[in-house]
């Protein structure tokens, strides 16, 4: 049976519209790699206005988007959940039982907590000049991670919820963690930000495992990501003046 170009039972043809600098797109790469799905990638140049053909793929002009057979899906969380639901795996249990529902709820709560409470600080900190205001923001971020994230990582050994294999929780959050550490190493974020995370026992152990995972690393280009962020921040600071 086929609906909107989605066919059950055969290997899908997937095109991933992406940019390796983007943490949201990184999520889709991790999921696709873990699911072992073949795909083609089309790199979208984020330094230029989007071309009309891409605005037809995704009218918001953002990456990632995927074409799954003939169907376009956008928004990294939706793309990731769709792929996981269409191709059940160790990443997240399929719904249908209270145990699976609870495991899914816990992953969703963790990811939602990261995104809604902690996820945007690194970008705000990066835009600030050195000084008291920036330090206060770093402390606020570390306080939130300690209060909101650290308890959710109790027993996350080696992966979320005690899973032996990487889960959707790592796939959706690790792209941000790997960047925070890389930016701190490269002087784009204060070293105190990484040091503060390292002082959280659950977080630091979990993060080390998550960011060294092959599915997180295979498209990771630290130099390119840092350079891209440097240019972006310089241009945002110039616009503020």
Q: In angstroms, what is the minimal distance from the CB of 79 to ligand GSH?
A: 7
Q: In angstroms, what is the minimal distance from the CB of 227 to ligand GSH?
A: 15
Alpha carbons 153 and 150: distance in angstroms, whole number: 5
Q: In angstroms, what is the minimal distance from the CB of 29 to ligand GSH?
A: 12
User: Which lies closer to ligand GSH via its Cβ, residue 51 or residue 133?
Assistant: 51
Whether residue 215 contacts residue 34, with contact meaning beta carbons closer than 8 Å, is answered with: yes
Q: In angstroms, what is the minimal distance from the CB of 31 to ligand GSH?
A: 12
User: Which lies closer to ligand GSH via its Cβ, residue 32 or residue 156?
Assistant: 32
User: Which lies closer to ligand GSH via its Cβ, residue 142 or residue 178?
Assistant: 178
Q: Is 3 exposed, middle or buried (0-12, 13-18, 19+ CB in 10 A)?
A: exposed
The 10 Å Cβ neighbour count of residue 234 is 10
The 10 Å Cβ neighbour count of residue 171 is 32
Position closest to ligand GSH via CB: 22
User: Which lies closer to ligand GSH via its Cβ, residue 156 or residue 229?
Assistant: 229
User: Which lies closer to ligand GSH via its Cβ, residue 73 or residue 142?
Assistant: 73
Residues lying near ligand GSH in the complex (CB under 6 A): 22, 24, 46, 61-64, 75-77
Q: In angstroms, what is the minimal distance from the CB of 49 to ligand GSH?
A: 8
Q: In angstroms, what is the minimal distance from the CB of 220 to ligand GSH?
A: 14
User: Which lies closer to ligand GSH via its Cβ, residue 71 or residue 97?
Assistant: 71
For residue 8, give the DSSP letter.
S
Q: Is 228 exposed, middle or buried (0-12, 13-18, 19+ CB in 10 A)?
A: middle
State the maximum Cα–Cα separation within the chain, in Å, rounded to a whole number: 61
Whether residue 18 contacts residue 42, with contact meaning beta carbons closer than 8 Å, is answered with: yes
Phi, psi of 71 (to 5 degrees): -110, 135
């Amino acid at each position: 049976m086929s609906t909107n170009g989605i066919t059950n039972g055969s290997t899908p043809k997937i095109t991933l519209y992406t940019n390796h600098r983007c943490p949201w797109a990184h999520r889709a790469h991790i999921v696709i790699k873990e699911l072992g799905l073949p795909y083609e990638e089309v790199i979208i140049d984020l330094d230029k206005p989007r071309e009309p053909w891409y605005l037809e793929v995704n009218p918001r002009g953002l990456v990632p988007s995927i074409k799954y057979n003939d169907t376009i899906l956008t928004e990294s969380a939706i793309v990731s959940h769709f792929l996981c639901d269409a191709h059940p795996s160790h990443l997240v249990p399929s719904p249908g039982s209270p145990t699976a529902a609870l495991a899914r709820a816990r992953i969703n709560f963790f990811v939602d907590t990261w995104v809604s409470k902690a996820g945007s600080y690194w970008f705000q900190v990066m835009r600030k000049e050195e000084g008291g205001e920036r330090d206060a923001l770093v402390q606020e971020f570390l306080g939130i991670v300690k209060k909101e994230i650290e308890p959710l990582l109790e027993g996350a050994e080696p992966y979320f919820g005690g899973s032996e294999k990487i889960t959707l929780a790592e796939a959706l959050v690790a792209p941000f963690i790997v960047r925070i550490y890389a930016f701190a190493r490269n002087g784009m974020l204060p070293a105190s930000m990484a040091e503060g995370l390292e002082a959280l026992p659950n977080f630091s152990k979990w993060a080390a495992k998550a960011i060294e995972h092959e599915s997180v690393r295979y498209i990771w280009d630290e130099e390119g990501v840092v350079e891209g962020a440097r240019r972006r921040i310089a241009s945002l600071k110039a616009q503020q003046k």
